[in-house]
Structure 1
């Protein structure tokens, strides 16, 4: 009996002293060619990889971040002209490789192009909800629509009134986020949501 208690205490001692290590990088080109290994601070129990891709006219932007995270959920949001994804894992250096590109899942939602929000977007991966958001931008209320994962929709209650986001609604049926025409500010919403998920 004493031997079992001693082994148990030794196990706790050794595992308590182990810190998670993750790859760390921030790239404005979308490629983490020079990533380094980082020992995570106490309380950081996940490794994460986040990617944001946006297109405005002929300009394409891709940002990639890898780091330790205190808590993390794999999330994805696609507005047709921008896509934000974040994936998480909880073993040493598990974020070495980028997650595979998500495959289409059969879900369809409306998204905005110009002032029309009647374009149809095929969702992929964990994007199992349609989203519609209104943001205060430049003195106006603008709307963004697209596909989102359930974890983004579950967090909408705490996102309200953050970063000028006036409202966010999610729904589960195909094309349930309406097709009325509005103007859009997709980059502002995506950056706001990405910063919220990375910092909380």
Structure 2
């Protein structure tokens, strides 16, 4: 693991779903948080609208082939600039995942692979050794929920992660024909970033001032 990690090679770990005790299903979130207000985002237009957790996850449970508009839950990040949507009613709140969902947080932390490196208190995790009086960034976990994307344009814009990350697929709605659902990640090596920037500028006509990756518009 250390050799692959040092080289920046992405790792695929199978069987993690068997490590979780809670269901992490649409029905779980409907039962526990259904009446709470949330903001959902149209992945195609980036327009937002108010909804409820129940309404969003009822749509999440539909056959992926029947989804018309690809919607996702708006994610609020701790320590971000205040916005009009940062109210006590927003879901998920801008507080840490551990504070908001203690049971889910405990379930997640118990299941992560390479725990010495990936748990918040892992002995080889640099973040576990920050000074107690330092302002700490919220390293997660964070939860991303999105409907099926039939346009294949993606539900998350291209971006750079500030730290090493673990992505775990905890639920995907199956198709009506019984085939399992899934998720697709496109991961690029850090050394390829200059070439990727060049490609994006040439192929998309990116004219915004600044970096085509940091702009998070593609």
TM-score by length of 2: 0.25
Larger RCO, structures 1/2 (Cα 8 Å, 6+ apart): 2
Relative to total residues, which structure has the larger strand share, 1 or 2? 1
TM-score by length of 1: 0.27
Larger Rg: 1
Relative to total residues, which structure has the larger helix share, 1 or 2? 2
